[in-house]
Structure 1
């Protein structure tokens, strides 16, 4: 492992979706990139996600959108809305925003294939990061002193780099979510839908190979309430809900049901500290209510690369990235937190208001509301020759 003071070298900490996208984008503009991942293998853990048009635009700027489309299902999100008993509140409309539904592992694989293996280093724990781009990394029991022109902190909501150089522990939002993907053809076909209960909601999305991604979101009085049988816990929340929700949960292998607390972080005053930049959940983790978490990490990566390509002054480029991203993402994170308060509310009148809105809002107004955050076009990311792998 060698990373020196190359005038355009970067260390990316974290090999999730945001970190890999950042590595792809930086290499595209000619930067040398080293990705450090503390896990022993680089693999995405998760279920499904939706890529809204803004994320697809960002992937298109990197030349990856077609590869992603080949491994996704084109559908809508929040187009079909039902009650917990199955009554339709809204059916999808031709004007609804189209999204790509994809397994996180498939998206992760597309991004990884766009990088040479030499850029990826596993079992690499970052011990410390200095503002000037110096990194101490422990790999296979040995410590390495690294240095780069830029350090990208893409190490997630529990970012050690953010806690070290900024501040901000995750904030529990009083919600838990269970996620799963059914085996191929076990319950099929299934239509995209969002079903609403009082303080609970269930989402269904078709995936390639006749699989279905589902999630169950419910209130929780405290975090870290893990179980030896997460599938059974998810089933308890959807007992009596309309078909095929209970069947989908039962069809999912118990060891493949994921349970996470819904957390976010309070806004940080800047995403940049000298030569260190926050990206993705490390910068602006938000509740999943808007479906924009992964999308915004992808956006971050493309905007960062575009800013660095446009301005040879790295300090000025990072300031531009910071201005652009905080102006866009922080209001979105606030909106996601406000959405949690609405969907978590168990008051019958509040629930009635939510269901009436789904029934009565005209299609054009519905599209405007759901497209609020996805109406974004990526800046160009010029292709330049890589100086070093």
Structure 2
């Protein structure tokens, strides 16, 4: 049986492991965290991701989670609460499926066979040989190694595997704004969802379906010195900073902020892989998710693309195939699509974070006058993706 080592136990890593196991591979996940889990708040899954999860037999497990989405009045408002544009039930945003990141992590991790996930195992290097790849890692204070036919780099924005195997790549670039996220249970039901756009600031609201509400906020500010972009941190003063920026915005925005435990307010600067990687595979290493194509969250497609990657990689590797050919096929299928979504997400971030005295009002006017079918055309193409089949190995 062919063997794969997956580096990283995030959404992309877990899905990669599940997909490869279905395709007949023996898989081990190396995760550096002592207690694996997703730090975060809400996450959005669109039909493209759900179809991918169905292809590897875990879609129903995810759909069984407490979930929400866009219900009732939805769209974009200004800080006073006036609707700039409203959407109806036929638009792509209504196909969105919102869950808590920790719930999604639990569903995927719970589908793994025993012994697949090794926690507290920090990968420190790889050595590619003719027919194997050796992975060096540190666990429990010891230097260890393991061999496999393939290594899947699912180690995120600051991927060590990407840095090691693509040393000339410039790395992540700051997207120009910072983000806060939180989950709270408001005293009364939230009846409207969507985003509110100010000048260089945004606030988004999305019910999770069990009384909880996921919210996020953004502000166009310089990157924070000394922080590893994309790594969340919680600081007691972040809620105060949010109230300073959003206290006079329409209800229920101030109430959602004050109703969130200050220690549970997450903040991270937003980074992206703006420069396209020249390839997602090399020798016996393949990258998935943020390690390959980290994007801004403006289209809600980051996790969706990682899930698509995982399923497409497993489909390419299923059956009696030559590894180099399979990896080239994966790269050819995924690189154009994901890099297109990176660019589209970046363009949306420039629009939504407009902060000039003229560009902000002009943006709102353009959004208001744009026909809905024209505005949604690109998103419909993204979420129409259909996964390749991943036949279960016998």
- Fold match by TM threshold 0.5: yes
Deviations 1:259-295 (A, max 9, x none): 0001012211010010011110000001111111111
Residue 314 of structure 1 is matched in structure 2 by: 323
Separation in structure 2 between the aligned mates of residue 308 and residue 109 of structure 1, nearest angstrom: 26
Matched, 1:11 2:5: yes
Separation in structure 1 between the aligned mates of residue 67 and residue 369 of structure 2, nearest angstrom: 28
Deviations 1:195-234 (A, max 9, x none): 1111111110000320000000111123347754111112
Deviations 1:236-266 (A, max 9, x none): 2212110001100110111111000010122
Residue 3 of structure 1 is matched in structure 2 by: none
Matched, 1:269 2:289: no
Separation in structure 2 between the aligned mates of residue 302 and residue 362 of structure 1, nearest angstrom: 35
Matched, 1:71 2:65: yes
Shift of 1:63: 1.6
Separation in structure 2 between the aligned mates of residue 269 and residue 311 of structure 1, nearest angstrom: 27
Residues 310, 24 of structure 1: alpha-carbon distance in 2 compared, 3 angstrom cutoff: same
Matched, 1:290 2:332: no
Shift of 1:350: 2.0
Separation in structure 2 between the aligned mates of residue 130 and residue 233 of structure 1, nearest angstrom: 46
Residue 208 of structure 2 is matched in structure 1 by: 207
Residues 349, 371 of structure 1: alpha-carbon distance in 2 compared, 3 angstrom cutoff: farther
Separation in structure 1 between the aligned mates of residue 55 and residue 74 of structure 2, nearest angstrom: 27
Separation in structure 2 between the aligned mates of residue 95 and residue 251 of structure 1, nearest angstrom: 32
Alpha carbons 1:95, 1:367 under 8 Å: kept: no
Separation in structure 2 between the aligned mates of residue 179 and residue 18 of structure 1, nearest angstrom: 21
Residue 230 of structure 2 is matched in structure 1 by: none
More displaced 10-residue stretch of structure 1: 33-42 or 332-341: 332-341
Partner-residue secondary structure (3-state), 1:73: coil
Equivalent residue in structure 2 for 1:33, among 22, 27, 37: 27
Matched, 1:353 2:359: no
Residues 32, 100 of structure 1: alpha-carbon distance in 2 compared, 3 angstrom cutoff: same
Partner-residue secondary structure (3-state), 2:96: strand
Alpha carbons 2:156, 2:290 under 8 Å: kept: yes
CA RMSD of aligned residues (A): 1.8
Separation in structure 1 between the aligned mates of residue 98 and residue 209 of structure 2, nearest angstrom: 9
Residue 105 of structure 1 is matched in structure 2 by: 102
How many residues in Structure 1 have an aligned counterpart in Structure 2?
A: 378
Separation in structure 1 between the aligned mates of residue 324 and residue 360 of structure 2, nearest angstrom: 48
Separation in structure 2 between the aligned mates of residue 345 and residue 96 of structure 1, nearest angstrom: 24
Alignment of 1:154-233 (within 5 A): 154-166=154-166, 167-183=169-185, 185-224=186-225, 228-233=236-241
Equivalent residue in structure 2 for 1:335, among 341, 344, 362: 344
Equivalent residue in structure 2 for 1:248, among 240, 256, 261: 256
Residue 86 of structure 2 is matched in structure 1 by: 91
Shift of 1:187: 4.4
Separation in structure 2 between the aligned mates of residue 73 and residue 367 of structure 1, nearest angstrom: 23
More displaced 10-residue stretch of structure 1: 89-98 or 239-248: 89-98
More displaced 10-residue stretch of structure 1: 367-376 or 139-148: 367-376
More displaced 10-residue stretch of structure 1: 44-53 or 76-85: 76-85
Alpha carbons 2:68, 2:206 under 8 Å: kept: no
Separation in structure 2 between the aligned mates of residue 318 and residue 103 of structure 1, nearest angstrom: 32
Any unmatched runs of 5+ in structure 2?
228-232
Separation in structure 1 between the aligned mates of residue 388 and residue 59 of structure 2, nearest angstrom: 15
Partner-residue secondary structure (3-state), 1:371: helix
Separation in structure 2 between the aligned mates of residue 95 and residue 360 of structure 1, nearest angstrom: 19
More displaced 10-residue stretch of structure 1: 185-194 or 119-128: 185-194
Shift of 1:362: 2.5
Separation in structure 1 between the aligned mates of residue 353 and residue 89 of structure 2, nearest angstrom: 30
Alpha carbons 1:190, 1:212 under 8 Å: kept: no
Matched, 1:237 2:234: no
Separation in structure 2 between the aligned mates of residue 323 and residue 56 of structure 1, nearest angstrom: 22
Give TM-score scaled by structure 1 length.
0.93
Deviations 1:19-67 (A, max 9, x none): 0000000000110000000000111110001101111111111122222
Shift of 1:117: 2.8
Matched, 1:20 2:21: no
Alpha carbons 2:190, 2:252 under 8 Å: kept: no
Alpha carbons 1:95, 1:363 under 8 Å: kept: no
Shift of 1:319: 0.3
Shift of 1:74: 4.7
Matched, 1:304 2:313: yes
Any unmatched runs of 5+ in structure 1?
1-6
